[in-house]
Structure 1
């Protein structure tokens, strides 16, 4: 029954996804300004940003990038709570593809659950197999060291924006929302000042 539902859903959604992809490709082809791409969230709408999902941009397939961008390159990528859903090995592949299809001086802004967060309830929510929303599909729990490493291995230099360190101290710098808006952050998530203290590990990977 589950397999049948998946087939039916794919058939129903296929025309919509094809249309979305055609529109997206057209916007990219005709773009004369910076290309700012949201990864893994077709329903997110930010001014001057183009949203994608796996049907329009598969991070693990170079051909998917070529199909979407043609000869263009992205200025910025934004991925809020996406990379915890893929393995470390796949994250490295994805980031190398992003690097290859990014302009020099561009960046990818990544936000993921923070593995050094001092609140045990937070960790129980966001860890792989945790009880928080979406955590059943989480593959790993990053801290700033792990995320820095995979970004650097993909060729990026790193700018840490918000994170807890190994001593459970919180660090942040003022960052521009127009360079990649992160809802689950110190500034924009009201839960930050509640007992749970919800926050994200937020890092920019920069193509020098």
Structure 2
């Protein structure tokens, strides 16, 4: 058991090191210009080790997105009949704050910034690179689909209806803007989202009358 725990901790440290140096390189040199061998050299591991932990280079940045969106989709599917999509969003974000830890964290948390503050490292890399900015939007497309489906159910409309699409697009934009703001202004994304949520509720109310 002790040997197994040591092995797991070593894997976590290796994954964290690869993630940290890769995000630093992406921010400094650009995503396209940063190669897997360069990441491996900076992390003091082999290129094969990098590929073992991350089969794709973009996965270093965005694997955390896929996992979080999957959890949102499940929570939305399992919501109670009287629970609205915005209620699910709020609860999901609060849960993500405690779920997303270490190198797999993408949601900006409150607290001191250091070389292990992976959410802020992610945001810094994305903000400095157009390729990552575009990839971020692509990885958020499933989130938009899930939100549109939930809003459509709330409004008794189709997911491709204008209200569902407008609100879903606004939610995704708000999530991205809130996390970027929190990274820049030493804030917590979940707290900043409360302000955004009040704005979004006003927009939704226009379609509820």
Is the shorter-chain TM-score for this pair beyond 0.5, marking a shared fold?
A: no
More strand by share: 1
Coarse TM-score class (shorter-chain normalised) = under 0.3
Q: Which structure has the larger Rg over C-alpha atoms?
A: 2
More helix by share: 2
